[in-house]
């Protein structure tokens, strides 16, 4: 056991030291404000990001680089207290009409009422694949690890190492998969009180503004994307090609157990369940195994 552990530690150190595609810098090195910088701040050593929403503006950051595949980790402490009407988002996205996007959105609530964790995925500009969850912890009391894991085989949404959702690649069966466009990592905080909380019935209480979401430890273990010509290069140039390795291609039985626990106990909306919305014409992936 001891030697296995030593071996794993050595392997880990090797992988961290020699993986040139891993971005593990302070947030201020890897991201910049694209909106509301005047409100917000990167404090401390540049790894204490605070996004602020007040009556003048919300705010947002995006990564300097786009990526193709990777594991995008961010530790986030959501807006505490009465956060009704606010939405904090953490997502990856390309741009244009046929964009790809993978989302976490956190819909605020009145004090003491639960947040909604909203997830979605767009492929070729087409979304409408929402799944929603209740947090099984207080997301405002401390930082939690929200990670979007995206490889050629599947997308996995993780919270504190627990997978909550998988979207598998069924491109060979005609279902679009995000694998041709580089995506940047974004986070933002904005006023969505026309829809977010109890369907828009609860408005933002500006008397308790400013609303502040805090972030640290952004880490993109990801393949840097330099445009369509270099997809293969992107993968080939990364020695620790972990996102295509079997370890990262399929959840273990233990992870499946955790995911089922979340989905059985904390899932509150699944588009694949919403026959009325789709008029009986359910999206094709709803008939495919996702795990």
Ligand X SMILES: *[C@@H]1O[C@H](CO)[C@@H](O)[C@H](O)[C@H]1NC(C)=O
Residues that bind ligand X (CB under 6 A): 71, 73, 107, 109, 113-114, 116, 126, 128-129, 145, 147, 158, 161, 196-198, 217, 267, 269-270, 273, 283
Shortest distance in whole angstroms from residue 276 CB to ligand X: 11
Nearest distance, CB of residue 275 and ligand X, angstroms: 9
Whether the CB-CB separation of 135 and 106 falls below 8 Å is answered with no
Q: Measured from the CB atom, is 33 or 218 closer to ligand X? A: 218
Question: Which position among 105, 130, 171, 173 bears the catalytic label?
Answer: 105
42, 28 in Cβ contact below 8 A? yes
For residue 273, the minimal CB distance to ligand X (Å) is 4
Least distance in angstroms from the C-beta of 233 to ligand X: 25
Compare residues 116 and 238 and give the one whose CB is closer to ligand X.
116
**Position with the least CB separation from ligand X:** 283
Q: Between 37 and 267, name the residue whose CB sits nearer to ligand X.
A: 267
Known active-site residue 173 = no
101 catalytic per annotation: yes
Nearer residue to ligand X within complex by CB, 65 or 216: 216
Known catalytic residues?
A: 101, 105
């Amino acid at each position: 056991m001891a030697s296995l552990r030593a071996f794993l530690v050595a392997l880990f150190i090797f992988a961290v030291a020699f993986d040139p595609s891993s971005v593990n810098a302070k947030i201020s090195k890897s991201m910049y404000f694209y909106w509301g910088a005047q409100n917000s701040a990167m404090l401390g050593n540049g790894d204490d990001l605070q996004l602020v929403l007040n009556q003048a503006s919300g705010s947002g950051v995006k990564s300097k680089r786009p990526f193709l595949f990777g594991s995008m980790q961010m530790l986030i402490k959501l807006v505490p207290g009465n956060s009704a009407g606010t939405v904090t988002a953490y997502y990856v996205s390309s741009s244009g009409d046929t964009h790809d996007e993978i989302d976490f959105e956190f819909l605020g609530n009145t004090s003491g009422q639960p947040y909604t964790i909203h997830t979605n995925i767009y492929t070729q500009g087409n979304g409408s694949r929402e799944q929603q969850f209740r947090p099984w912890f207080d997301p405002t009391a401390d930082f939690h690890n929200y990670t979007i894991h995206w490889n050629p085989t599947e997308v996995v949404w993780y919270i504190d190492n627990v997978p909550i959702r998988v979207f598998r690649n069924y491109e060979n069966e005609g279902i679009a998969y995000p694998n041709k466009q580089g995506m940047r990592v974004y986070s933002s905080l904005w006023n969505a009180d026309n829809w977010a909380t109890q369907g828009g019935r609860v408005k933002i209480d500006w008397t308790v503004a400013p609303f502040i979401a805090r972030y640290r430890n952004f880490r993109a273990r990801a393949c840097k994307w330099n445009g369509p010509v270099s997809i293969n290069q992107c993968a080939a140039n990364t020695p620790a090609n972990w996102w295509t390795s079997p370890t990262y291609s399929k959840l273990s039985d233990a992870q499946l157990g955790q995911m089922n626990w979340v989905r059985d106990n904390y899932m509150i909306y699944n588009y694949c369940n919403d026959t009325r919305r789709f008029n009986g014409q359910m999206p094709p992936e709803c008939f495919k195994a996702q795990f």
